[in-house]
Amino acid sequence: MSYTYDYPRPALTVDGVIFGLDVKGRMKVLLIKRLKGPFKDCWALPGGFVDMEDEDTDAAVARELEEETDTKNLYLEQLYTFSKKGRDPRERVVSVAYYGLVRPDALKPKAGDDAKEVKWWPIKRLPKLAFDHRDIVKMGRERIKGKVRYQPIGFELLPELFTLRSLQGLYEAILGRDLDKRNFRKKILATDIITPTEEFEGGVKHRPARLYRFDQKEYDRKVKAGFNFEI
């Protein structure tokens, strides 16, 4: 049975802000070049319209990421709902944005569907973006800055084994400022959620540093016991 609403309904879309950290410690974001209008040939976040028949926004953003960038099974969290009038020239569009963290070297993105090209861009040198996607990227960056201080989400951006130097570099890249080496190491080691291994980094001219591993089980155990992670 059909139903006629008293009020007009907006279109619903999703957008994905996927952040990565390259080997030089630079924060990057995954963008696509649009194949179709509006904003044809402009860079934008991967995303699209939600299938109103049988799809929720979680499923929609996962599908769009796979269709446009050939990536899947990413760490994703809902970021914010963007609904400002005029954000899309076609019609009134409300977008539910998600953000994710992944190592760029762990992905081999490939353009598909209505994406002409897909590329990792340094967050400090972003091109002009379609729609209000620069605002979405900015909010995603601010969310990560806040969350990384009280949850160990940054480990998603590191390989399984890492040095304390690379871990500090990750935090500095996300927070956008330098951290005191001695204080940082003291704080992170005191949490007992990273475990030293018997392995050392290779291929370096300086003295090889010990490699560490994030201990998810120990972190989960500590959280249940009331542990407060803060860097």
Q: Which residues participate in catalysis according to the annotation?
A: 117
Contacts (Cβ under 8 Å, ≥6 apart) of 57: 12, 14, 50, 78, 96, 98
Residue 159 preceded by cis peptide, ω within 30: no
CA pair distance 24, 47, nearest whole angstrom:
28
CA pair distance 17, 29, nearest whole angstrom:
7
Alpha carbon distances (Å) from 220 to 151, 186, 191, 211, 225: 11, 21, 12, 22, 9
Contacts (Cβ under 8 Å, ≥6 apart) of 152: 193, 214, 219, 229
Strand-pair category, 93-101 with 11-21: parallel
CA pair distance 131, 42, nearest whole angstrom:
10
Q: Which of 44, 57, 156 is nearest to 106 (CA)?
A: 156
